[in-house]
Amino acid sequence: MADLDASTPRVFIARHGETEWTKNGRYTGSTELELTADGVKQVEGTASHLVGSRKLIDPARVVQVFVSPRKRAQQTFDILFKSSGVSLESDKVKLEENITEWDHGMYEGWLGSEIRASRKERGLDKDGEWSIWSDGCEDGESPEQVTKRLDNLIAKIRDIQRPHMNGEEPADVVVVAHGMSLRCFVKRWLGYPLDMPLALMLSPGAIGILSYLKHDIKQPAFFVGMSLPPL
């Protein structure tokens, strides 16, 4: 792997595999859903290519894994790391409430179209269409609440990685969570507000990569693309 890629600490973000509600676009927060058969295959495919000794996510270089407590995230973690000897019982692994999915409140299980129709019927959003990024969820979380807990997690990660910005010791971190919370995480990693119009895509079972420019803890960045270790 290129020296720049390997020596600067990285944060790998892993989205859980497909669930039934992922397939039909329902807002899924606290509801406990397992992965579909296709969701399992998605994560298995990612693991076979990217997780393992001398692969992109090398367990020997990972010092901490933060996993959302939701069942679908724990299942994804187990599949990603099952051949590496890292388990939920490992000292490296922490179930982390700060990275759980956005609490959708009364919108739990709804489609976006259903949310907007309900709000329109009740006389809301007269000045513009509802957006979770700026308006949050009724009886659920506001953008400010999500920002606060993600910033808490980012501070923990920066404390872990700060002493090793020039590769003094391996300091990679993995975060296993959800589509919405991870997109929020990326925005906060870069210092952007959640309503920043930054279009981000993260497929079920996919891996994203965050790091720092010029080995500088004050310059968080994300990889548009990076080199892979040789087979």
In whole angstroms, how far apart are CA 158 and each of 59, 67, 189? 19, 17, 10
How large is the average pLDDT for residues 82-89?
82
What confidence tier does 6 reach under pLDDT thresholds 50, 70, 90?
low
In whole angstroms, how far apart are CA 122 and each of 39, 103, 110, 130? 37, 21, 16, 13
Please state whether the predicted TM-score (pTM) of the whole model is above 0.85. yes
What confidence tier does 4 reach under pLDDT thresholds 50, 70, 90?
very low
- Higher pLDDT: 101 or 228? It is 101
**Architecture in CATH of 3-222:** 3-Layer(aba) Sandwich (3.40)
Spatial neighbors of 144 by CB under 8 A, at least 6 apart, are: none
| pLDDT over 60 (residue 142) | yes
- Higher pLDDT: 42 or 82? It is 42
How large is the average pLDDT for residues 84-100?
90
What pLDDT score does 1 carry?
A: 36
| pLDDT over 60 (residue 111) | yes
25 assigned ligand-binding residue: no
28 assigned ligand-binding residue: yes
Determine contact, residues 52/58, Cβ cutoff 8 Å. Answer: yes
What pLDDT score does 38 carry?
A: 97
As annotated, the active-site residues are 16, 101
31 assigned ligand-binding residue: no
How large is the average pLDDT for residues 222-226?
86
Instruction: Determine the residue type at 42.
Output: Q
| pLDDT over 50 (residue 104) | yes
Helix/strand/coil for 99: helix
pLDDT in tens, 144-162: 999 999 999 999 999 999 9
Q: CB-based burial of residue 37 (10 Å sphere; 0-12 exposed, 13-18 middle, 19+ buried)? A: exposed
pLDDT in tens, 24-42: 999 999 999 999 999 999 9
What pLDDT score does 182 carry?
A: 98
pLDDT > 70: percent of the chain: 97
